[in-house]
Amino acid sequence: MKFDAEKIKANTISHDKLMEKYMKDSEFQKEYLNLSLAEYLTDGDFNKFYKSLEQVIKSRGSITTFAKKVNIDRANLYTLFNGEKVPRLDTIAKILKELGYTIKVA
């Protein structure tokens, strides 16, 4: 069986486009962050959680606008998202609060 790669590619959506579509849904955003945090608790890789925070924030607007809302320097947010800096719990709480979420111990 021969596959036409161009035809398949033309009828396929990229991961980035699919995530962009799903990230418009606030319920998806919440579950995405919950799963990302649960994954961190399993594998210890907090960078994945930072990246998921970044995706949710970007889906709602610009990093600059968000940084102003939470009174955190934009450059500091980017160092967090790039895994160059480990934030304090109050910073994560401030970010989640602005997104409309809380931290819950279960």
Distance CA 60, CA 67 (A): 12
Q: Are 66 and 55 in contact (CB under 8 A)?
A: no
The pLDDT score that the predictor gives to residue 63 is 92
The pLDDT score that the predictor gives to residue 6 is 77
The pLDDT score that the predictor gives to residue 15 is 77
Cα dihedral 21, 48, 82, 33, rounded to 10, equals 50
Per-residue pLDDT tens listing for the chain (106 residues): 677 777 767 778 887 788 888 889 999 999 999 999 899 889 988 888 888 999 999 999 999 999 999 999 999 999 988 888 888 888 989 999 999 998 877 6
Distance CA 91, CA 77 (A): 10
Distance CA 49, CA 42 (A): 12
The pLDDT score that the predictor gives to residue 1 is 64
The pLDDT score that the predictor gives to residue 11 is 73
Closest among 60, 40, 51 to 84, alpha carbons compared: 51
